[in-house]
Each structure stands twice: as structure tokens, then as C-alpha cells.
Structure 1
């Protein structure tokens, strides 16, 4: 469900659309409740940067934009609270959670371990159609990175690759656990891909990963997928620590 207009929109429409295509992590055709549809829309706005960390999310403008009462908006925000994207503060209501170094360390370590297992299983189980999609996506990622494309669209492409590999692992419980992590880590992953050099490095790692899966080299595929996520984690931590140091010194970015 897309609102008529995004309240306080500050990001180009194509960027928000890219995130809307990424945040769902559900099979096409899945029936969603109204609050779930609204939660997806708010999530994409958070991930695209329309809502900044710590920013208040006002219910009335959202209700007007989605043409619903405040009830479904509040339910949608509670769903996002469960995912760690939103917190509720006394007398302030909902606001976007702040970026956290400890959260990065915890979430990315878990995701690296689970993603490694997904790649190992995918190397043995992947189907030709999935491989074709992966090759196409990696080609787009490399082209996007070399052309100096932005992090939002690059992250959308890499997330699609991750979903295909997780599905190809043919382990429903593993897929469920990864889905619970993806939306929580997307805004961090996007931050970790802030520079053109990082996106080029990432695109090459994805290309190496797809080649390993295609060869059926499960061990190598697992190593590369874990390494890809570890490098993203390290990049995010460097940025967050630099920001905190700058804030502590009273300086700018």
C-alpha cells in the first residue's frame, strides 16, 4: 500500500521505490493485512532515509497520507517496534531507533553465520533458474558500482541476491531466521556501502560467491558469503565510531 504522498518526503521517488521492492522479503502474491502493508511503506521510508535515526514518526500525517484512521498506523508502528526499527517514547510517541554499535556487532555476527550456512546449502541445491537470476543481478550490481550508482539501489540489488541464495538453500527455518534479520540490518548494510569503492568491492565478492555456488564449491561459497557480511559490518562500525568521536569532540562529519 503506497500513500498518496510521503509526509515530509526528502528522498527521490525512485529511491523509495527501490527500497519498497526490497523490504518485503515475502513471496509474491502474499496477502498482507492493512497494518502490514503500511508497515512495509514506513519501513521503506526509514531505509531510504526519509526518516532519520531518532526522528519522530507522526501518526496523523501518515493516517492522512494512507487515508486510514490512526488505528492501523499505530498497529503498523508496533510491528516495526518488534523488528527494532521503531521505539515508543513517553509523550513523544514513535520514533526511528538510533543506530547502535552494539546492535551492529550482534546482528551482523548472527547474519554472517546464517548466511554462510545458506550459501553452503545453496551450492548443493540451487536450480538453473536461480543461477540465471543471480548472474543477471550480479551483472547489474557491477555495472551500477562501476557507474558510481548510489547505495540505496545497490543495496536493493544485493538484497535480492541474498534472498535468492537463502531460498535456494531449501531450509525453511533458516530462511525464516534470515528474513527476521534482513530488515533489521538493511539500513546498516546500506551505510556500510556508502562509498563507491565499497560497492565495487562488494560487487566483486558477490561475483565470486555466485561462481563458487555455480561450481558447487560449498565451502568456498560459505566463506565468501560470511566475508561479505563481515566487511560490511567493519565498514559500518568504522563510520559509526567516527561519528561518535566527532560528536564527542563537538566537531562535524
Structure 2
């Protein structure tokens, strides 16, 4: 069985370049959750040294996107109930704080960027491209953290961002109906509340936005893919 193909790195020997290419491949579905990642195969696919791949994988491990265990080697993280609950619970708390902070700090340009992201989501709905829609979704939340202007808060978001992306990708892979029906309306509501809304309502909406995604993912996995205990 041939190994999944990934784009060759543009620059040789750079760990971040290797990490970017492997991350892209994971998000493209080339390496589903639980898939092994072998240094020698990745080095050949990316046309970089094994040392660069090893350092790149270390970057992805710091992001929580992959795990290395002596008896299993390096694998893409799997979706277990415990992992899903942990990631989405942390995200709910961070997103709530980011939204409330952005509400007090966002300038007109930052607010306009939120609207631009939502408009792009609305335009993308007709294409049926779930991964592209998800990329715009993540960009919207990146914009909220940028508007909040808190470096440590942004660093906390970036620590789980790749895991959130993978989990959300799994959610839409299992079925896009729920996601597509709500994605534009929920993000437009968040943008409106950040612009001029009650802070407590904003906090509740931001948290429910995340918990709704968590519940949907767990339900779909339970029905379509037996979950391992975690």
C-alpha cells in the first residue's frame, strides 16, 4: 500500500516548512485520526531530511495534533470522548473570554474583518466545499482573538487551534447538514454581539456555539464510528 502523497516542501531542511506540509496533509484527510506518521516516508514525500521531519513532527506534537508513544510510534491524534470534551471545554472558556475582550477593544477595522469573514462563509455555502467553509470559520475566530489584543490569550488559542481544526473537520466529514445550516447564522450573531451586545449574552452565545459543535461531533461519532474509551 503506497503512502499518502503530500506536497513537497518548497525549502529544504526547515522544520516549520515540514510541519506546515504535514499539517496541511492531515487537514486534507491524507492522514485521518489514528494514522501512523513515519519519518522515512515523510522525508521522501516532502523531499527533506529525516532530521527536519523529526523537528517538524515535534512542532505538531506541541500543537497537540500528533502523539508519539514508544509502542505505537507517531500517530495523528484519535477522537475519543475524553479528548473531545477536553478540547471543546477549553475552547468554550477561551472563546468566551476572547469575545468579551474583543467587545471592549475591537476597532472598526477589526469589526469589519469579522463581517467580511461571515460574508465569505455565506458566499461559500453554495459551493459545498466543507473544508473551505471550515477554513473561513477558523479565520473568523482568529479575527476575534486578534481583535481582543491579548497575546497570552492568543497563545492559548493557538495551542489548541490545530486540534479544533481537526475535530471540526471530522465533524463535517461525518455530515455537513447541521454545520452548514448553522455556520453563517451563528457567526453573524457573534459578530453582532461583539459590535453592540450585552456582555453576558455574548459570553453565553460564544460558549453555546462551541458546546453545540461538541455535542454534534459526539453524536455523529457515536452513530457512525464506534468511539474508543479515553
State whether TM-score is above 0.5: yes
Q: Tell whether the 8 Å contact from 2:62 to 2:159 is kept in structure 1 after alignment.
A: no
Match of 2:150 among 165, 171, 175: 171
Secondary structure at 2:31 match in 1: coil
5+ unaligned residues in a row in structure 2: which ranges?
A: 8-12
Match of 2:184 among 190, 203, 216: 203
Displacement after TM superposition at 1:245 (Å): 4.2
5+ unaligned residues in a row in structure 1: which ranges?
A: 1-6, 14-32, 248-253
List structure 1 runs of 4+ shifted beyond 3 angstroms.
89-93, 243-247
Distance in 1, matches of 2:169 and 2:60, equals 18
Bigger mean CA offset, 63-72 vs 164-173: 63-72
| Normalised TM-score (structure 2) | 0.86
- The answer for the alignment partner of 1:137 in structure 2 is 117
Distance in 1, matches of 2:83 and 2:227, equals 20
Deviations 1:191-210 (A, max 9, x none): 23431332221210000111
Q: Tell whether the 8 Å contact from 1:118 to 1:222 is kept in structure 2 after alignment.
A: no
Displacement after TM superposition at 1:130 (Å): 1.4
Q: Tell whether the 8 Å contact from 2:31 to 2:76 is kept in structure 1 after alignment.
A: yes
Deviations 1:45-70 (A, max 9, x none): 11221111222223223223333211
Distance in 2, matches of 1:131 and 1:205, equals 16
1:49 to 2:29 alignment: yes
Deviations 1:126-165 (A, max 9, x none): 11111111111101112322x1522211110011110110
Bigger mean CA offset, 118-127 vs 236-245: 236-245
- The answer for the alignment partner of 1:8 in structure 2 is 4
Distance in 1, matches of 2:63 and 2:54, equals 15
Distance 1:69 1:114, change over 3 A: same
Match of 1:122 among 102, 107, 121: 102
1:67 to 2:63 alignment: no
Calculate the aligned-residue CA RMSD, in Å: 2.3
1:226 to 2:222 alignment: no
Secondary structure at 1:88 match in 2: strand
| Normalised TM-score (structure 1) | 0.78
- The answer for the alignment partner of 1:18 in structure 2 is none
Distance in 1, matches of 2:143 and 2:190, equals 13
Distance in 2, matches of 1:35 and 1:73, equals 6
